[in-house]
Amino acid sequence: MVLRHIPVREAILGAAILVLLGVVSTRFSGFISPANLANVFNDTAPLIILALGQMVVILTRCIDLSMAANLALTGMVVAMLNVAMPGLPIPVIIAVAILLGAAMGAVNGLLVWKLAIPPIVVTLGTMTIFRGIIFLISDGKWVNAHEMSTAFTGFSRAAFLGLPVLSWIAILTVIVFGVMMSRTALGRSIFAVGGNPHAAVYTGIDVGKTQFLAFVLSGALAGLTGYLWVARYAVAYVDIARGFELEVVAACVIGGISIAGGIGSVGGAVLGALFLGVVKNALPVVNISPFWQLAISGSAILIAVAFNARAGQTKGRIILKSTEGSV
């Protein structure tokens, strides 16, 4: 019953993106050239990767507001590592980024799992703590392009089969998460925990541990994106990606992932991210100031959540509505 709804929602979102592309192309036909679409995709790649991590967390009835701060801290650490040891091979840098990000995710996860603190409180707290730590380790200074090695900054831009490595990593993440969510025990238990935690317990799933693993996954992806972000923009400082956590949540909500947990799909998260990515890239083309971006993503969240709630009303869960999701 749930599965029957998802493809419809994705089809609507996919159609919305196509309509958007069509409208923009009437103003500027070059926007839908393959090369430009590849650029838009590459520009949206970090958002896609982060949205997948956020999706896993939201599916388990949690939320991770610390993703952008995690990204910024990891980015700063690997940038400083690169400055200190320019010879360090890129695979090692990536491994450090993923592990560090996962460790920060584990901190969130442990607080949620072992102490049962509401995820919103935990991640609001760690969000500021992580940002503060960036200031402490960097002394408020920037790491600029000329201090980074060319291998460090070049990796994510290197072209492979016509697309930059950054895009390929996003595609790979989508495939891995697609398989994980539909073909592995972990993926199914993530859905089960969010869909009905009590039933999940009776089927032998450890709810807290699954939430913990979800936070580790989102942390690992935030860490990975931290390196990719810093490498792509070739700069690291305290405030990179500030406020990006909301855009990530927006991508998930637009993609039809229910904030009450248990409902959502990898395809939805990707389409939600692509929708925001297309909007962001289309604004300058149709001569709208980039200052509109924030208000547009805010409106998109509200419209999407209202729309999804109406779609979800047919499922007979309305009886618990007022006690759910009010954390």
Please report whether residue 125 would count as binding other proteins according to CB under 8 A.
yes
Please report whether residue 311 would count as binding other proteins according to CB under 8 A.
no
Report helix, strand or coil for 136.
helix
Q: Are 143 and 75 in contact (CB under 8 A)?
A: no
Please report whether residue 327 would count as binding other proteins according to CB under 8 A.
yes
Q: Which segment (94-102, 113-121, 173-181, 223-231) binds other proteins by CB under 8 A?
A: 113-121
Query: CA-to-CA distance for 164 and 159, rounded, in angstroms?
Result: 4
Please report whether residue 80 would count as binding other proteins according to CB under 8 A.
no
Distances in Å between the Cα of 11 and the Cα atoms of 48, 89, 254 are: 18, 42, 13
Please report whether residue 284 would count as binding other proteins according to CB under 8 A.
no
Q: Which segment (25-33, 181-189, 215-223, 287-295) binds other proteins by CB under 8 A?
A: 287-295
Q: Measured from the CB atom, is 29 or 322 closer to other proteins?
A: 322
Q: Which helix (H) or strand (E) holds 282?
A: helix 266-285
Positive or negative torsion for Cα 39, 30, 270, 161: negative
Please report whether residue 197 would count as binding other proteins according to CB under 8 A.
yes
- Within positions 200 to 259, which residues make up the interface with other proteins, using CB under 8 A? 201, 207-208, 211, 238, 246, 249-250, 253, 259
- For the record, the structure tokens of 281 come out as 């890239």
Q: Which segment (12-20, 112-120, 143-151, 156-164) binds other proteins by CB under 8 A?
A: 112-120
- Give the nearest distance from C-beta 124 to other proteins in angstroms: 5
The residue type at 30 = G
- Give the nearest distance from C-beta 313 to other proteins in angstroms: 9
Please report whether residue 115 would count as binding other proteins according to CB under 8 A.
yes
Q: Which residues lie closer than 8 Å to 247 by C-beta, 6 or more apart? A: 47, 276, 297
- Give the nearest distance from C-beta 186 to other proteins in angstroms: 18
Number of residues that bind other proteins (CB under 8 A): 60
- Within positions 32 to 61, which residues make up the interface with other proteins, using CB under 8 A? 61
- For the record, the structure tokens of 216 come out as 């580790």
Phi, psi of 84 (to 5 degrees): -70, -40
Report angle CA 136, 247, 134 to the nearest 5 degrees.
5
Please report whether residue 199 would count as binding other proteins according to CB under 8 A.
no
Please report whether residue 26 would count as binding other proteins according to CB under 8 A.
no
Q: Which segment (15-23, 32-40, 194-202, 266-274) binds other proteins by CB under 8 A?
A: 194-202
- DSSP string covering 61-91: T---TTHHHHHHHHHHHHHHHHHH-TT--HH
Please report whether residue 86 would count as binding other proteins according to CB under 8 A.
no
| DSSP code of residue 265 | -
Find, among 136, 155, 156, the residue nearest to 80 by Cα: 136
Q: Which residues lie closer than 8 Å to 92 by C-beta, 6 or more apart? A: none
Query: Which positions touch other proteins (CB under 8 A)?
Result: 61-63, 111-112, 115-122, 124-129, 131-133, 135-136, 140, 197-198, 201, 207-208, 211, 238, 246, 249-250, 253, 259-260, 289, 291-299, 301-302, 305-306, 309, 321-327
